[in-house]
Amino acid sequence: MAGQMIQINTPQGHRFSAYLATPEQQQGPGIVLCQEIFGINAAMREKADFLAEEGYTVLVPDLYWRIAPNTELNYSAEDFQKAFELYQQFDEDLGVADIADSLAFLKTLDQCDRSTGLGVVGYCLGGKLSFLAACRLPEVACAVSYYGVGLEKALHELDGLKGRLVLHIAELDQFTPAEARAEIVAASQAHPLVQCYVYDGVDHAFARPKSEHYHKPSARFAHERSVTALHDSIGPYYDLAALWDEHIRHEFDTRDVPATMATMVAEPYVNHIPTLTGGVGSRQLSRFYSHHFVHQNPKDMKITSISRTVGSTQVVDEFIMSFTHDAEIDWLLPGVKPTGRYVQIPMLGVIQFRGAKLCHEHIYWDQASVLVQIGLLNPEGLPVAGVETAHKLLDESLPSNSLMPSWPSSADKAVG
């Protein structure tokens, strides 16, 4: 997915550039994405494309148009110096006015769903501007600020907040020392419309891929929180359970690989944690599904659902998978010849979505239980169980702690 550069004409007669990214369905709730101090560079365009994949129409205005139009800097020492010089010249109040004009322009586009509210997301300098826009512009239904610089000096502006505001703060951010962070957190806790998250052990720009301080777990967690807030405030709304059921139907019922892949984003991945099987990217995953999964599963394989938790961006599925081991199953028992034994496995799937498409699957199960059930592992003397793990998941009244030799010793001991 790739956007395009366009021109924005304002009611005041101004004209400046912007990057526009639209979702696959060609229309979605509108978001203004505010740049770092480096301008509309490749990193910001990638962020816009990523949000468009989530279902949004994203506009990235050139906030430097008054002082250095069409600036696009990288992250070398020289470019950082240029970026800092531009930042020192930048007028935040005019920046907020440009965001207001950008929001108004968004609403004129057919690609923007006018039935919803509008959002603002920003990083670094843009993080500060998204904070100010949320506080000053009543049309902002939801704003997200990543490591905004100088928020502690603008906390009084929260009195004007009408929509939802999410703040992502890096614990080790050199631009937000501990005292400033404490002020921001305290003010956020006192305001019902603000959610503030501090990410331990990470630095400024932790959510910028390929940066020195990029921290993938924190970036992913922050993105999930951001999209959840945006979904709740401006949409779009997806039936993730139905989307997941459709994916499963093509995997196990129709056994249609192209249809399975069609339920996923352009570059998805699947990770079966115990066996490290699956694939990363469309080409590898298609190969995996075609030759090592969809057409290789036993004919009597079935899924018994135990529980399902549906969030804004993911589904967590708990189930028992049952089958007769009458064929070699590469993804589950790679290299193991059929044993003819019947197997029941408790499984857990964490399924992440991006927009209306499945992004990735993390599938967990107890491989020791599988090996016991097919006779490859003798459980005697080991803290492992076989089919009992599935039986107890179905019937919690079955005995607990049977693998603990010390369990009888506590029968008559006081508790609490």
pLDDT of residue 316: 98
Number of domains in the chain: 2
Same domain, 29 and 61: yes
Query: Domain range holding 40?
Result: 4-234
Q: Is-contact 102 15, C-beta < 8 A?
A: no
Q: What is the mean pLDDT of residues 19-42?
A: 96
pLDDT exceeds 90 at position 416:
no
Kind of pairing between the strands at 357-365 and 264-272: parallel
Q: What is the mean pLDDT of residues 379-394?
A: 96
Is 124 considered catalytic here?
yes
At 210 the three-state DSSP class reads coil
Length of the chain: 416
Q: Are residues 201 and 253 in the same domain?
A: no
Q: Please tell me whether residues 311 and 196 are part of one structural domain.
A: no
- Average model confidence (pLDDT) for the chain? 96
Sheet with 30-34, edge to edge strand ranges: 4-9, 15-21, 57-61, 30-34, 118-123, 140-146, 164-170, 194-199
The pair of structure tokens assigned to 240 is 């993730």
Give the mean pLDDT of 301-325: 97
What is the rounded CA–CA span in Å between residue 146 and residue 225? 12
Burial class (CB in 10 A: 0-12, 13-18, 19+), 89: exposed
Active site residue 247: no
**Residue 47, domain member (yes or no):** yes
Q: Which of 62, 98, 113, 124 is catalytic?
A: 124
Quickly state the pLDDT bin for 59 (edges 50, 70, 90): very high
Same domain? For 21 and 160 the reply is: yes
Strand, coil or helix: 7: strand
User: Residue 277's pLDDT is what?
Assistant: 98
Mean pLDDT of 338-347: 98
> What confidence score (pLDDT) does residue 210 get?
87
The percentage of residues in the chain with a pLDDT greater than 70, rounded to a whole number, is 100
Give the pLDDT score at 1. Answer: 53
Residue 343 lies in a domain: yes
Same-domain check for residues 219 and 246? no
Mean pLDDT of 69-86: 96
Higher per-residue confidence, 1 vs 146: 146
Question: Which CATH number belongs to the domain containing residue 143 in this structure?
Answer: 3.40.50.1820
204 and 162 together in one domain: yes
Mark whether 247 and 340 lie in a shared domain.
yes
Among the candidates 234, 251, 284, a domain finishes at 234
User: In terms of Cα–Cα distance, which of 35, 34, 49, 47 is closest to 4?
Assistant: 49
User: Is 413 within the bounds of a domain?
Assistant: no
- Catalytic residue selected from 173, 203, 317, 366: 173
Tell me: do 202 and 322 sit in the same domain: no
Q: Are residues 126 and 263 in the same domain?
A: no
* CATH number of the domain within which 344 lies: 3.10.450.50
DSSP state of 253: I
**Residue 97 included in any domain:** yes
Query: Does residue 111 sit within a domain?
Result: yes
Catalytic residue list contains 173: yes
Q: Count the neighbouring beta carbons within 10 Å of the beta carbon of residue 236.
A: 18
Catalytic residue among 34, 98, 112, 204: 204
pLDDT for position 56: 97
Model-wide pTM > 0.85:
yes
Q: What is the pLDDT of residue 2?
A: 74
Same structural domain for residues 157 and 276?
no
Q: Is 14 helix (H, G, I), strand (E, B) or coil?
A: coil
Q: What is the mean pLDDT of residues 10-22?
A: 95
The pLDDT assigned to 114 comes to 86
Q: Is the pLDDT of residue 334 over 60?
A: yes
